[in-house]
Structure 1
Amino acid sequence: MKLVLLMGSPRKNGNTAALTAPFLEECERLRMKTETFWLYDKTILPCLGCKTCQDRMDGLGCVREDDVAALFEAMEGSDAIVLATPIYAWYCTAPMKALMDRVVYAGTKNYGREKGPSLLRGKGLATIVTCGYPEEKGADLWRAGLRRWCRHSGLNWQGMLCGRDMGPGVPFLTQDKLAAARDFARALIPKAGGEDL
């Protein structure tokens, strides 16, 4: 099984990276192949809404020349996609939102002269998030948006791991969060790959 993790945090030593680290360690321990992309290190231009992508049925077909084609290729080559992001203003960070706009649109051929395929159909989609509010008040809109993307594009929703930051002076990465990150990785195996490990 191959998993691609798209990291939407601008901080390589921040809370989202801290919560993702034990998740990835557990994935590797379980012999899952993983690949991580830091989106703030990539050039991800916003969607133009030109619909050129809708006339190419066998690929992304976007007119933008940036790093999205390579990111999409990695997503297509995976069994599961994990979006890791801090929650800013009740949703993901800017580069992740720009990537999603492009991938949702160009990856699902619903808007052209003829209806075509969803290029990511059947892949698992999960998310790892950090926020300052309880999950039901901080990450609920993000989860709802991802579940709708899954329904729209034929992805398989695999769930959300949310770590709350309790504020200054309170350690973020607790034993409970470490255990939850490892459990989340183990839970993805039967959902995404169906492999008997």
Structure 2
Amino acid sequence: MKFTILMGSPRSQGNTAALLAPFLEECRFLGIQTQCIHLYDKKVGPCLGCMACQDVPDSLGCVQKDDFAQIFQEMEDCDVIVLATPVYAFFCTAPMKALLDRAIYAGNKNYGRTKGAALLNGKRVASIVTCGYRPDRGADLWEEGLRRWCKHGKAEYLGMFCRRDLGKSVPFMDEEKESGVRDFAQAIYLSIRMEEV
């Protein structure tokens, strides 16, 4: 089993990285292979809206020559895509938004001369999120957007684990967050195992 984690935080030692660390440890304990791609280290330009990809029915067909195709290949080759991001303005960070825009557009051939495939059809997607408000007010728009992104791309949404940052006077990580995100890893693992039985 393989998880590809798309890390959307600009801070390698920030809250999202702190929440992700025990998730990755739990994955290793469960025997899950993980790959973490730091999107701020990659070059992924925004979608140009040129529609050239829509006339390539069985592959991406994007005209931009950057890191998008390589990242998308990793998304295709794994069992679960995990989107890890802080929420700054009620949605994911800019590199992740650029990636998701291109993945949903080039990955779904709905607008060309002939209708083609959904390249992430059946792919499982989960999210690990940090934000400054209560999750139901800080990450609700992100989660709804992700649900729609999955539905449009025929992917399976597995859920979100989100925790709030209470400010510099309160340490972000605590026992509840660590055990909760480990439980989240286990729940994803078990849901896949149940499907395989």
Structure-1 residue corresponding to 2:172: 172
Secondary structure in 2 matching 1:127: strand
* Post-superposition offset of 1:126: 0.5
Give the Cα separation in 1 of the matches to 2:37 and 2:28.
Answer: 16
TM-score (norm 2): 0.97
Q: Deviations over 1:109-144 (max 9, x none)?
A: 111111111000111100000001001100000000
Secondary structure in 2 matching 1:12: coil
Structure-1 residue corresponding to 2:69: 69
Secondary structure in 1 matching 2:163: strand
Structure-2 residue corresponding to 1:5: 5
Q: Which runs of 4+ in 1 moved over 4 A?
A: none
Give the Cα separation in 1 of the matches to 2:35 and 2:94.
Answer: 21
Give the Cα separation in 1 of the matches to 2:190 and 2:172.
Answer: 29
Counterparts in 2 of 1:1-197, with a 5 A limit?
A: 1-192=1-192, 194=195
Give the Cα separation in 2 of the matches to 1:68 and 1:87.
Answer: 22
Secondary structure in 2 matching 1:58: coil
TM-score (norm 1): 0.97
Whether the 8 Å contact between 1:80 and 1:192 is mirrored in structure 2 is no
Whether the 8 Å contact between 1:80 and 1:124 is mirrored in structure 2 is yes
Whether the 8 Å contact between 1:123 and 1:192 is mirrored in structure 2 is no
Give the Cα separation in 2 of the matches to 1:180 and 1:110.
Answer: 39
Secondary structure in 1 matching 2:81: strand
Gapped regions of structure 1 (runs ≥ 5): none
Gapped regions of structure 2 (runs ≥ 5): none
Letter in 2 for 1:23: F
Q: Deviations over 1:86-105 (max 9, x none)?
A: 00110000000000110010
Whether the 8 Å contact between 2:57 and 2:114 is mirrored in structure 1 is no
* Post-superposition offset of 1:81: 0.3
Letter in 1 for 2:97: K
Give the Cα separation in 1 of the matches to 2:34 and 2:56.
Answer: 29
Identity %: 58
* Post-superposition offset of 1:195: 5.2
* Post-superposition offset of 1:192: 3.6
Give the Cα separation in 1 of the matches to 2:67 and 2:79.
Answer: 21
